[in-house]
Structure 1
Amino acid sequence: MRNLRSILVFHPALWGLVVLQSLVIVAWIAIDPRISFSLTRVFDPAITLGVCLLVAATAYGFQASRWPVIAERTRVMATGILFLVLSFTGVRFLNYLSMSLALPWADNMLDSWDRMFGIDWHAYASWLSQYPDILPYLEQCYILAAVSIPFIFMVLVALGRAERAKEFATLLYIGVFVTVCIAGFFPAEGAMVRYMDSQLPAGTFGPKGGVFFVEALRTVRESKEVVLSFAALPGLASFPSFHTVISLLIVYACRDNIVTLLLAAVGAGAILVATPVYGGHYFIDVVAGILLAVVLAAAYAAVKNANLSAPTFVVTHSTR
């Protein structure tokens, strides 16, 4: 019989964190009278989860067939997508719940940290606006960063890199979970709102560039009733920048092949260039995202190496 970790694909502790996350959300909704829950668009994730469960169960049954490798990779893919949908949906709810606390705006603090390091956000945005031909590509890289996560996971599994795919998904989930937990203490409207002026007018980077989340953030902070639903809603985390975490972890996941590594590095570079303007992030958000990604990757590698080097004890029974 396969062990539990093999069946679950990811470590049971990681699934436990998803369960704990769900319990916190349920308790929060029950306690806070401002918060309610709607089943709007529930069929989108429900169908995805149902298909993943069906495919995973079917593939598990075919592992003793003539195509065990294909069946195993299919099972890992389906289970992985199921995990990503469950975990990231819960994190999004936590993001909105934490922002509903309406803690003091952190824009002044974050901007002061930029200036402490000698970083001029307005100068950077003004410089980038001088290259309108590349702006659409930067915007698309920023938008596609999060969308690419399940596809990168599936490609890694399909290429026989299941362990690398599991590492990628694990680091991303822990990364977004930590990001949301920290970001709740640093709500910010962002640098684009702060620095829009006659030299950098609204719409320089498109109608939503750097401000796409602001209306939702203000609403969740000011509304007397906050309704959580499965509708597509923007992320509200500013510090640290999760897009920065995504970009670096994509590169880290592609480190085994020089071609994929270079392609990932180019894409990650475009995301990092775009993040301050299209995400409305202060540069300190990006710096914090880099540090978070590095710490997570190093911690994961350390734990993995410790497990691999742990001694194995064999108990033998002697007879007299």
Structure 2
Amino acid sequence: MLRFHPAERTIMLATAALAVACFVLAYLKDVGIEPWTFTATGIFAVVAIALGQFYRIVRDGERIALTAIAIGLFAPWTFVGWTYNILLLPRYAAPIDPILVQADALFGYSWPAICAWIAQYPQISELLRQVYNLTLVQLLFTFMFLGFALDRPRLHAAAMAMVLASLMTIFCWGMFPSNGASAYWTLDPAIDRIVRPVVDSSYGAELNRQLVEGVRSVSDVKATGLIGFPSFHTVMALMTLVAAWPYRIARLVLIVVNAALFPAILIHGGHNLMDVFGGVAVTLISWFLAVRIYGAQDAHEKARTGAALASSPVQAA
């Protein structure tokens, strides 16, 4: 019989529920979801979870089991969340980016200005580009670190916090759509050639079009993300730091990495400063909730296990 911890079952249930919502939305909106878009993710998830079950049941290797199952569950959740986000297109409310840009100005920040500044240092800009592209890898590394450290409380709290953060971010974007600073500003061509933002003005223009026109198929979306506010890259980065905080070496490494990631999110993520502030708020709220959910689930599991042992004739003898 397969063995799953409460947090793992919670993530599976959330993924299944959101997948059902995706198929309902796709049917109602007549948006195509091609099988090949999720086949690779599905195969990876099945293999990873099966490996985790093997080490949990047969080999008694909980370190590998925790790690493999966490990554195996996170992959389909990420895909389903991305698909659901796309299926919310089009959004009929006007983007809130003009408001966010005005709020940024109160702090003396503008995306074109920071891009113009970093254009003076192309090598630093390229380094920030690489850091930005490795944000998801950083999160997966943290999951692996906590799994092999056999720290189930922090691993499962982080995994559930990412689920909650995803839902909070999508809900916020659904109510108040935003595409980020790159969708509001157009960079000077000379600066654009030097900096080469990952999320540049042409990328932002395509997001603006999709926000109004929607899509006919999930595969039509070439963008890696639709959401400007709150910044989900900020959520992923801070979640790694919060989850690994008790481990001194990991904490110091992640502080250094995130110190570089913060300007990378602004420059190469094409974000408003308010997007980052929003990501910080989502991270803290989702972690607070996830820790308490994990605590309640763990207490319930221990109580149930204790009751089962007490009622066992072998244990009673």
- The interval holding the TM-score normalised by the smaller chain is 0.7 to 0.9
Q: 1:224 to 1:280 in 2, by over 3 A?
A: closer
Q: Which residue does 1:127 correspond to in 2?
A: 117
- d(CA) in 2 for partners of 1:262, 1:14: 29
Q: 1:55 to 1:223 in 2, by over 3 A?
A: same
Q: Which residue does 2:263 correspond to in 1?
A: 273
> Alpha-carbon deviation of 1:29?
1.1
Q: Give the alignment partner of residue 277 of structure 2, picking from 269, 273, 287.
A: 287
Q: Which residue does 1:183 correspond to in 2?
A: 173
Q: How does 1:171-320 map to 2 (within 5 A)?
A: 171-198=161-188, 201-206=191-196, 208-211=198-201, 213-214=203-204, 217-218=207-208, 220-223=210-213, 225-229=215-219, 233-303=223-293
Deviates more, 1:151-160 or 1:131-140: 151-160
Does the alignment pair 1:167 with 2:157? yes
Q: How does 1:45-194 map to 2 (within 5 A)?
A: 45-63=41-59, 68=60, 71-194=61-184
Question: Does the 8 A contact of 2:63 with 2:147 survive in 1?
Answer: yes
Question: Does the 8 A contact of 1:248 with 1:290 survive in 2?
Answer: yes
Identity, % of aligned positions: 21
Q: 1:201 to 1:246 in 2, by over 3 A?
A: same
Q: 1:295 to 1:95 in 2, by over 3 A?
A: same
Q: What is the letter of the counterpart of residue 26 of structure 2?
A: I
The runs of 5 or more residues in structure 2 that have no matched partner are 312-317
> Alpha-carbon deviation of 1:99?
3.1
Give TM-score scaled by structure 1 length. Answer: 0.82
Q: Which residue does 1:31 correspond to in 2?
A: 28
Question: Does the 8 A contact of 1:60 with 1:75 survive in 2?
Answer: yes
- Between the two proteins, the alignment pairs up a number of residues equal to 307
- d(CA) in 2 for partners of 1:207, 1:119: 17
Give TM-score scaled by structure 2 length. Answer: 0.83
**Root mean square deviation, CA, Å:** 3.2
> Alpha-carbon deviation of 1:134?
1.2
- d(CA) in 1 for partners of 2:198, 2:105: 25
The runs of 5 or more residues in structure 1 that have no matched partner are none
Does the alignment pair 1:19 with 2:9? no
> Alpha-carbon deviation of 1:198?
3.9
Question: Does the 8 A contact of 1:52 with 1:82 survive in 2?
Answer: yes
- d(CA) in 2 for partners of 1:212, 1:181: 25
Deviates more, 1:288-297 or 1:187-196: 187-196
Question: Does the 8 A contact of 2:128 with 2:260 survive in 1?
Answer: yes
Question: Does the 8 A contact of 1:213 with 1:236 survive in 2?
Answer: no
Q: What is the letter of the counterpart of residue 50 of structure 1?
A: V
SS in structure 2 of the partner of residue 10 of structure 1: helix
Deviates more, 1:81-90 or 1:181-190: 181-190
Q: What is the letter of the counterpart of residue 48 of structure 2?
A: C
Deviates more, 1:51-60 or 1:249-258: 51-60
- d(CA) in 2 for partners of 1:224, 1:126: 32
Q: Which residue does 1:10 correspond to in 2?
A: 7
> Alpha-carbon deviation of 1:77?
2.0
